[in-house]
Structure 1
Amino acid sequence: MPRNKNGVSRRNVLKVTGGATAGLAVTGFANAKPSDRVRVNIGYTGESGRRAALDAASVVHHDFSFDAVTLEVPKRAITALEQRSEVRYVEEDGTMHAYAQTLPWGVDRVDADAAHDSGYTGSGADIAIIDTGIDASHPDLDNNLGSGTSYVGSSWDDDNGHGTHCAGIAAAEDNGQGVVGVAPEATLHAVKVLNSNGSGSYSDIAAGVEYVANQGWDVGSMSLGGSSGSSALKDAVSYAYDNGVFLATAAGNSGPCSNCVGYPAVYSECVAISSTNDSDGLSYFSSTGPEVELAAPGSSIYSTYYGDSYDTLSGTSMACPHVAGAAGILMGQLGYSNTGARSRLNNTAENLGLSSNQQGNGLLDVYSAI
């Protein structure tokens, strides 16, 4: 919006100042009817400008220390005020509003909001985001952050954005701003195994999975993968699964294709998750195959991002933390084991009419699961 030299928008300024008739009287208006008054901000120069403004006022709301006042004045007084050389501006006292919290379409589609309304928010759950880290200062995540570790540097703070985006999908706070996640009262833990370019070694990822198991956390969310496997990583997911960790994993973004689920999602210990769009179709990029167990929203997902910001991303990476959040609710709040939560999510999934290679047992349905 165009602004004048004082930074005031043209839409709100009643008229740009600059008149030269400094002695024009503005008295005699204070007794105007309430319906004829308007609330304005007036900036002035010197005591004569202040006095001129106050003389026109029916009500004084603010008398600022920075040479401005907020007043109620009769509408007919405005012209006289704005023509005075010692009056810098006269603007209508407009309104601003709090930034509203957004319910992302994916959280809505899997009925997580209905679960929240029934009191199921993931309280008591520990969800590890095995990724690029988490932005520790993000206002939609900071109160839910627990601990973390890094295998690609000294800090688990996010320097890529991907991990923070996934964290918000799983468990962004229900705080009236930004977005809300599937499990908004779960505790998030950052396990940084991918560097600022989004890449990491098999061994670092295996170490991260082992770390999650050794901490006794409920869920490990892995929005990562590759086209070939690793014995060390297979051993790590087996170790974690045997120690009670629910492993949510992205199926991969190799679509359109068939039988192309990536690693580690192909491992039997992992829940492979495909991606859907807002029309309940398979996302064009989603990998498919017999290993797919569940589908979840992954196209154009709005969530938290590093640098205390928000962004819209697409991928099975975005589908994965929807399931991670749901598993957190079942395990942390309802006492399910990792195997019990897995069975429950599969048994309550919504059939979208897609093939089993595309949707597995169906679309995640959080409310039905609880």
Structure 2
Amino acid sequence: MCKVYSINYKNIDKDILYSYILEESLNIKYQSPILDVLYLEIDTYNLLIIEKKFPELIINEAVKGKLQSDFEFDFIPPIQAVGANIGIQSPGFQTIVGVLDSGINKEMATYRKDYTGYGLELASEHGNLVAKIIKRLAPAVTLRSYKICHSAESGIDEFHFLSALDEAVKDCSIINLSLGFTIPYCEKDNPCHICQAINKYSELYQNKVFIVAAGNEGKYLDEDSIDCPGNAIESITVGSLDDNGKGVAKYSGKGPIGGSKPNLLATGSIFDKSIRGMRRGTSFATPIVTGVICSVYIFFDGKRYELKEKIYTTAKDLDLPSHHQGYGALDIAKFSEVCFDEEDNITSEKQRGFTGD
């Protein structure tokens, strides 16, 4: 039985490795243009041979990712809709957002590509819901859809995610990732390939903004429950507020003690008319932050650090641990105020603590 494995070859001569792969006609599913990583589809026999022939390789079985939303029937009263209220015309004008998700209808996306093999037809409304939230806050934004998940059952392949990311960074200034992978071997000082890719592209492109869901694993684990690539140092990682807007939702991923992930909190509950019920998840908190950033992105002239500084330092401190709330809850009114006011009226000592992560 064949499985897909990530192969990190940074410690060996890659030409020798590639020669062997070609000689054995092994199936390369993906090769990173920025990392010393490739994905191979191989059986156990060939895996054992590779491990013996190249002991320096770092090999991990690829995991399946997921969309970060839960469906519930309890009809919690919807939180009041968040408005952009940035005070400018056509929020999102000349800003291109890449949405790596379950696909978007052609009425909302100017470009659509399928990576799953199922085609552009949608089996899940998840991507459309994410797109609608972004469009509500930034109506003039241009959306590009990269379909990497067909359904909740099919999940997301690591190599599909990385392939789509490679393409999206070429054409998009902002990338929304309402998805996640639970990768147990990912650590801050030794990140997984998915987090490495976000960090590397942030280094290569100073104007790119990656906005990522913290994940919904908080319901299983209170601490250190953020999914990747929400653990990437350079991502803006978004967790969910509870239904009162005063704390962290129980399901929302929390970071390791002492860190500032997630970076922000936003509303994670939306009322979906198509099912006449609530949808919850950091999947829906994430595009709220994306939409707000889209609204003002053009005024920052691609200066990602300044944009992140303003959205972090204007967040509302909920007096919670930093690894639960990050810098606090997104405060659109305060953020819009300081974006167009040369004298930022920031009073919280804690909020002045932005260090660029």
- TM class by shorter-chain length? 0.5 to 0.7
Pairing 1:295–2:261 present: no
Q: CA–CA distance in 1 between the matches of 2:194 and 2:224?
A: 21
- Specify every segment of 5 or more residues in structure 1 that has no aligned partner in the other structure, as ranges: 1-103, 137-141, 172-180
Pairing 1:114–2:78 present: no
C-alpha displacement at 1:310, in angstroms?
A: 7.7
Partner of 1:83: none
Q: Tell me if the contact between 1:218 and 1:328 (Cα under 8 Å) persists in the aligned partners.
A: no
Q: Tell me if the contact between 1:164 and 1:304 (Cα under 8 Å) persists in the aligned partners.
A: no
Partner of 1:318: 284
C-alpha displacement at 1:334, in angstroms?
A: 4.7
**Structure 2 letter corresponding to 1:203:** F
Q: Tell me if the contact between 1:124 and 1:333 (Cα under 8 Å) persists in the aligned partners.
A: no
Partner of 2:109: 145
Q: 1:277 aligns with which of 220, 242, 246?
A: 242
Q: Please give the TM-score of this superposition, normalised by the length of structure 2.
A: 0.62
Q: CA–CA distance in 2 between the matches of 1:368 and 1:214?
A: 32
Partner of 1:232: 193
Pairing 1:167–2:131 present: yes
**Structure 1 letter corresponding to 2:198:** V
Q: CA–CA distance in 1 between the matches of 2:305 and 2:182?
A: 26
Q: CA–CA distance in 2 between the matches of 1:332 and 1:304?
A: 32
**Structure 1 letter corresponding to 2:164:** G
Q: Please give the TM-score of this superposition, normalised by the length of structure 1.
A: 0.60
C-alpha displacement at 1:259, in angstroms?
A: 1.9
Q: 1:223 aligns with which of 178, 183, 195?
A: 178
Q: Residues 269 and 152 of structure 1: is their aligned pair in 2 closer, same or farther, counting only changes over 3 Å?
A: same
Q: CA–CA distance in 1 between the matches of 2:315 and 2:233?
A: 19
3-state DSSP of counterpart to 2:85:
helix
Q: Residues 194 and 150 of structure 1: is their aligned pair in 2 closer, same or farther, counting only changes over 3 Å?
A: same
Q: CA–CA distance in 2 between the matches of 1:329 and 1:310?
A: 29
3-state DSSP of counterpart to 2:140:
coil
Alignment of 1:32-111 (within 5 A): 105=79, 107-108=81-82
Q: Tell me if the contact between 1:295 and 1:363 (Cα under 8 Å) persists in the aligned partners.
A: yes
Q: CA–CA distance in 2 between the matches of 1:105 and 1:113?
A: 15
3-state DSSP of counterpart to 2:127:
helix
Pairing 1:194–2:149 present: yes
Q: Tell me if the contact between 1:248 and 1:324 (Cα under 8 Å) persists in the aligned partners.
A: yes
Q: Tell me if the contact between 2:208 and 2:302 (Cα under 8 Å) persists in the aligned partners.
A: no
Partner of 2:214: 251
Q: Tell me if the contact between 1:218 and 1:332 (Cα under 8 Å) persists in the aligned partners.
A: no
3-state DSSP of counterpart to 1:255:
helix
C-alpha displacement at 1:202, in angstroms?
A: 0.9
Pairing 1:329–2:295 present: yes
**Structure 2 letter corresponding to 1:292:** P
Q: 2:100 aligns with which of 101, 110, 130?
A: 130
Q: Tell me if the contact between 1:213 and 1:239 (Cα under 8 Å) persists in the aligned partners.
A: no
Q: Residues 120 and 276 of structure 1: is their aligned pair in 2 closer, same or farther, counting only changes over 3 Å?
A: farther
3-state DSSP of counterpart to 2:156:
coil
Q: CA–CA distance in 2 between the matches of 1:310 and 1:153?
A: 31
Q: CA–CA distance in 1 between the matches of 2:326 and 2:80?
A: 18
Q: Tell me if the contact between 1:131 and 1:223 (Cα under 8 Å) persists in the aligned partners.
A: yes
**Structure 2 letter corresponding to 1:160:** S
- Specify every segment of 5 or more residues in structure 2 that has no aligned partner in the other structure, as ranges: 1-77, 337-357
Pairing 1:206–2:162 present: yes
Q: CA–CA distance in 2 between the matches of 1:169 and 1:196?
A: 20
Q: Residues 342 and 219 of structure 1: is their aligned pair in 2 closer, same or farther, counting only changes over 3 Å?
A: same
Aligned length: 243
Pairing 1:184–2:139 present: yes
Aligned-pair Cα RMSD in Å: 2.4
Q: Residues 158 and 338 of structure 1: is their aligned pair in 2 closer, same or farther, counting only changes over 3 Å?
A: farther
The structure with the largest alpha-carbon Rg is 1
